[in-house]
Copies of this chain bind each other. A is one copy, B any other.
Amino acid sequence: MSSTELAPRVAVIGGGQLARMMAQPAVALGVPLRLLAEAEGVSAAQVIPDQQVGDYRDLATLRAITQGCSVVTFDHEHVPTEHLRALAADGVIAHPGPEALVHAQDKIVMREAMARLDAPQPRWAVVASEAEVEAFGLPCVLKVSRGGYDGKGVWMVRTLADAAEPLAAAAAAADRGVRLLAEELVDFRRELSALVARSPSGQAAAYPVVATLQVDGVCREVVAPAPDLDPAAAAAAQQLALRIAGELDVTGILAVELFEAVDAEGRTRILINELAMRPHNTGHWTQDGAVTSQFENHLRAALDLPLGSPEPRARWTVMVNILGGDDPDVGRLYDGYPHALARDPHLRVHLYGKELRPGRKVGHVNVYGDDLDDCLERARHAAAWFRGDLGNDSD
């Protein structure tokens, strides 16, 4: 960093909506961002002036984009860890660093680490054949260890015949280090998420545990805090996320996606589903519902600045994603504004600068207030309206 610069520059790898939403607190903090975008005009490239288009799998590209930056952080978890080690040797530190990030890249490495930490998780095994799947027991869930997201690379397996496709997919990608993970099918009551921010100095902040509704592996709704969650279970989930962040030396945001199950004695059990090491869809509510948003705390953590309060600002905050629907004639999201904003002057809308396509996350709405049912109705109505899908909105 040149001595004439006003603040350290942060390199952000990946031009999706998470990088876009980091740009807002960067404006307030006076911190310049430099973006490596995967293509011209992608979501974050629309709002960050200092940018370059390139391939995050290419070390020379990463070296060029991070030159003059103090730290590098991410919109996604796919940057090769060996490149991050090379950057560190150049003096550009990644947050999260490669030793932490590998746990968000590889689900088997993550399961092994959770086992070492004696953290509660579903029964699991690495499998490579029908016989091993059969030995693990059916029904089960099969997941490729690397590269899956939003429900892709995940199979529900009820019969051995169902295992053929995942076994073939993993075998085909074996040369890229992909293996197949079998997990117990958890009979969960609902899904939760415990989000924490952690700085390189070790300061950490835990957001309230939220309830998330996933449909086909894609996050649809978040309620903060999780309604009717046993306070002891909520505290345990926060402590678990803080412990994982500390033990794995995570820097920035860590999202621990959890299953909430009920054991034979009727007690709440929480089991780790996935880890994510970046601002997360289950934390978008913090933009309007918390003192400090996950995006601001991610940047503060990357810069080793003191973290902001994760306290909620309202009794309830509901986040509902806007997903592209099946109707190709909906038109522009922008054209949904006159109704949506007039109907609800308290509605908070966040659009990502993306065209509507079926199933694509193109934005979200946040609604906060004292009455959960009212918040849910307003947020669901607005999201359904934007996606042109009001008639089918029966969530």
Q: Mark A residues whose CB is within 8 Å of B.
A: 6-8, 20-21, 23-24, 26-32, 45-49, 51, 205, 287, 291-292, 300, 305-309, 311, 313, 332-334, 337-338, 341-342, 345-355, 363
> A307-B345, A309-B346, A341-B306 in contact; A47/B28 too (CB < 8 A)?
no
B6 near A338: Cβ-Cβ < 8 Å: no
In angstroms, Cα B114 to Cα A308, docked, is: 45
Output the nearest chain B residue to A48 by Cβ-Cβ distance. Answer: B49
Tell me how far the C-beta of A309 lies from the nearest C-beta in chain B, rounded to whole angstroms: 4
Beyond the given A6-B354, A308-B341, A308-B347, please list 18 additional residue pairs across the A-B interface where CB-CB is below 8 A: A6-B351, A6-B353, A8-B334, A23-B47, A28-B287, A28-B348, A28-B349, A30-B352, A31-B334, A46-B49, A47-B48, A291-B345, A292-B345, A305-B341, A306-B337, A306-B338, A306-B342, A306-B345
Tell me how far the C-beta of A207 lies from the nearest C-beta in chain B, rounded to whole angstroms: 13
Tell me how far the C-beta of A281 lies from the nearest C-beta in chain B, rounded to whole angstroms: 16
B23 near A27: Cβ-Cβ < 8 Å: yes
Tell me how far the C-beta of A151 lies from the nearest C-beta in chain B, rounded to whole angstroms: 25
By a CB distance below 8 angstroms, the chain B residues around A51 are 49
A30 near B308: Cβ-Cβ < 8 Å: no
B24 near A351: Cβ-Cβ < 8 Å: no
By a CB distance below 8 angstroms, the chain B residues around A309 are 345-346
By a CB distance below 8 angstroms, the chain B residues around A353 are 6, 30, 32
B349 near A29: Cβ-Cβ < 8 Å: yes
By a CB distance below 8 angstroms, the chain B residues around A291 are 345-346
Output the nearest chain B residue to A343 by Cβ-Cβ distance. Answer: B306
